[in-house]
């Protein structure tokens, strides 16, 4: 993991692109680019934020851990996303830990500086508001998913959502290890595996990490997809 001057980063900065040059400069004076290897932990739940992380490339997986050590994935920050701005804005300890699963690059902005700038500069505040609002809405969808649907509905709807995101109506590639997807969907990997097998009677074929959608209508019939729960 290396440190470089902040302006080396060109991609993933579209979030800060609309900012005035003066404000960008103000932020970058207190920023550093951080390149991290797969497996790195960015921060642990319970810790106080010292930086506002912004994903430049790669991703950060955010997960919660129980006292006994069970872990569940809660969200994923992708290029252009702020990483848990809620903790930075409220000056409170992280409720989730962040881990990167692939080599990634982050812009680290000092928390105090970021907070102060957001409080004074409407353009940054606006970005922050939209980021927080988007993340909030994703969590609402997730809670509805967990409380209102069965395991197999969650899996089926997840595949349909992936197919939309990947713009391929009849073939989907799982974006992570099944392990992680299962925990994102609130079930064990074993249940996820079994559910996938079972759904092969309902319009899909599973081939390792790619899934062929044979009969989308049938899959939708058993999955009860819902635009107010599923993404896009």
Partner DNA sequence: TCCGGCTATTGACGTGAGTCAATTGTAGGC
Partner DNA sequence: GCCTACAATTGACTCACGTCAATAGCCGGA
Which chain residues interact with a copy of itself by CB under 8 A? 45-46, 64-68, 70, 72, 74, 85-87, 89-90, 92-93, 95-96, 118-122, 125-126, 128-130, 132-137, 139-144, 146-149, 183, 186, 224, 226, 228-229
> What's the closest the beta carbon of residue 185 comes to DNA, in angstroms?
9
Q: Which of a copy of itself, DNA, none does residue 102 bind (CB under 5 to 8 Å by kind)? A: none
177 scored as a contact of DNA (CB under 7 A): yes
> What's the closest the beta carbon of residue 230 comes to a copy of itself, in angstroms?
11
The values of phi and psi at residue 51, to 5°, are: -130, 150
| 38 versus 95: smaller Cβ distance to a copy of itself | 95
> What's the closest the beta carbon of residue 141 comes to a copy of itself, in angstroms?
6
> What's the closest the beta carbon of residue 166 comes to DNA, in angstroms?
18
Interface of this chain with DNA, residues 183 to 222, rule: CB under 7 A: 186-197, 206, 208-209
Q: Which of a copy of itself, DNA, none does residue 45 bind (CB under 5 to 8 Å by kind)? A: a copy of itself
How far apart are the C-alpha atoms of 190 and 206, rounded to whole Å?
15
Give me the half-sphere count of Cα atoms (radius 13 Å) on the Cβ side of residue 18: 10
Which among 129, 2, 105, 112 has a CA at the least distance from the CA of 54? 105
Helical segments of the chain, H only: 21-29, 85-90, 111-120, 122-148, 151-165, 178-184, 189-199, 216-223
Q: Is residue 139 a contact partner of residue 95, using CB atoms and an 8 Å limit?
A: no
The footprint of DNA on this chain (CB under 7 A) covers a number of residues equal to 21
Which among 24, 79, 81, 82 has a CA at the least distance from the CA of 51? 82
Two tokens, residue 180: 């992680």
Residues found near DNA in the complex (CB under 7 A) = 150-152, 177-179, 186-197, 206, 208-209
């Amino acid at each position: 993991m290396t440190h470089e001057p902040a302006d080396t980063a060109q991609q993933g900065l579209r979030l800060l692109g609309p900012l005035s040059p003066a404000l960008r400069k103000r932020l970058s004076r207190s920023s550093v680019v951080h390149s991290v290897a797969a497996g790195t932990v960015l921060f642990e739940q319970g810790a106080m934020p010292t930086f506002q992380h912004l994903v430049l490339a790669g991703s950060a997986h955010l997960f919660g851990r129980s006292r006994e050590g069970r872990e569940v994935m809660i969200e994923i920050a992708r290029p252009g996303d702020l990483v848990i701005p809620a903790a930075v804005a409220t000056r409170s300890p992280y409720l989730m830990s962040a881990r990167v699963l692939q080599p990634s690059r982050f812009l680290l902005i000092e928390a105090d500086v970021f907070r102060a700038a957001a409080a004074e500069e409407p353009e940054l505040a606006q970005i922050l508001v939209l980021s927080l609002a988007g993340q909030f809405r994703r969590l609402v969808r997730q809670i509805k998913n967990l409380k209102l649907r069965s395991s197999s509905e969650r899996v089926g709807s997840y595949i349909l959502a992936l197919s939309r995101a990947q713009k391929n109506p009849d073939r989907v590639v799982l974006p992570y290890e099944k392990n992680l997807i299962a925990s994102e969907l609130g079930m064990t990997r074993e249940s996820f595996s079994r559910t996938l097998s079972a759904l092969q009677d309902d319009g899909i074929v599973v081939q390792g990490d790619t899934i062929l959608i044979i009969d989308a209508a049938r899959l939708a019939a058993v999955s009860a997809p819902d635009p107010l729960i599923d993404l896009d």
